[in-house]
């Protein structure tokens, strides 16, 4: 086994999905996940600070995408324009995410309070980072918070729809339609 493991992280994530789906989160140890792909416990914790993180590695990419969408926007863009660009950037990265695997992951998260808690924490961090990126562009504090939280709400709601049984629309399309539905709620009344 080579010492340098370029895809160790992805292999650990796949093994975790499979083992936890079969035997539950509590009963699956980090050592066991690592062993399933020929690695050891220490290597696991080099990639994931705690056992829950193996299901959330993708969130760092979402965060980077959303923030890049805000920081890379042309000057003078409105707060909701920034949200639109942030979501478009994130949607692009996830356009090719395998839906079946994402469903398996979400089923595991929904069944385990410790994972649901981590998911909520990650979304809170996401909203905070996007809001900070907006404040750095000079968006007022309140508007930045509301716009960033709205953006994360749209992403979260769109992602849930994308995972639903029988859903065939792409994530980018669902994000755009969810954003339009949210806007319509405000514009109508």
Q: Does 169 bind its own copies (CB under 8 A)?
A: no
- Least distance between its own copies and beta carbon 98 (Å): 24
Q: Does 138 bind its own copies (CB under 8 A)?
A: no
- 1 vs 187, beta carbon nearer its own copies: 187
- 62 vs 148, beta carbon nearer its own copies: 148
Answer for the pair 163, 103: CB distance below 8 angstroms, yes or no. Answer: yes
In the three-class reduction of DSSP (H, G, I as helix; E, B as strand; rest coil), residue 56 is classed as coil
Torsion sign across C-alpha atoms 170, 58, 158, 109: positive
Candidates 68, 71, 81, 102: give the one binding its own copies (CB under 8 A).
Answer: 81
Answer for the pair 121, 53: CB distance below 8 angstroms, yes or no. Answer: no
Q: Does 121 bind its own copies (CB under 8 A)?
A: yes
Note the Cα 105 to chain centre separation in Å.
12
- Least distance between its own copies and beta carbon 79 (Å): 5
Joined together, the tokens standing for residue 45 give 């914790």
Q: Does 150 bind its own copies (CB under 8 A)?
A: yes
Q: Does 88 bind its own copies (CB under 8 A)?
A: no
- C-alpha 54/C-alpha 13 separation (Å) is 6
| Residue written as token pair 């292999």 | 11
Candidates 57, 80, 88, 125: give the one binding its own copies (CB under 8 A).
Answer: 80
Joined together, the tokens standing for residue 43 give 């290597």
**Which positions lie near its own copies, rule CB under 8 A?**
78-81, 116-117, 120-121, 124, 142-143, 145-147, 149-150, 153-154, 157, 161, 178, 181-183, 185-189
């Amino acid at each position: 086994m080579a010492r340098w493991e370029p895809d160790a992280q992805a292999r650990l994530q796949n093994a975790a999905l499979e083992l936890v789906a079969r035997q539950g989160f509590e009963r699956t140890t980090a050592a066991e996940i690592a062993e399933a792909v020929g690695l050891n416990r220490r290597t696991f914790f080099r990639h994931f600070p705690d056992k829950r993180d193996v299901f959330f590695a993708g969130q760092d990419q979402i965060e980077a995408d959303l923030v890049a969408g805000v920081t890379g926007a042309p000057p003078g863009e409105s707060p909701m324009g920034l949200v639109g660009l942030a979501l478009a950037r994130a949607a692009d990265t996830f356009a090719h995410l395998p839906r079946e695997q994402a469903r398996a992951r979400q089923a595991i998260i929904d069944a385990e309070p410790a994972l649901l808690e981590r998911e909520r924490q990650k979304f809170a961090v996401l909203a905070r980072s996007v809001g900070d990126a907006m404040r750095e562009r000079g968006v007022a504090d309140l508007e930045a918070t509301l716009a960033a939280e709205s953006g994360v709400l749209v992403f979260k709601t769109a992602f849930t729809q994308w995972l639903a049984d029988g859903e065939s629309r792409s994530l980018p399309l669902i994000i755009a339609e969810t954003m339009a539905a949210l806007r319509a709620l405000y514009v109508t009344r």
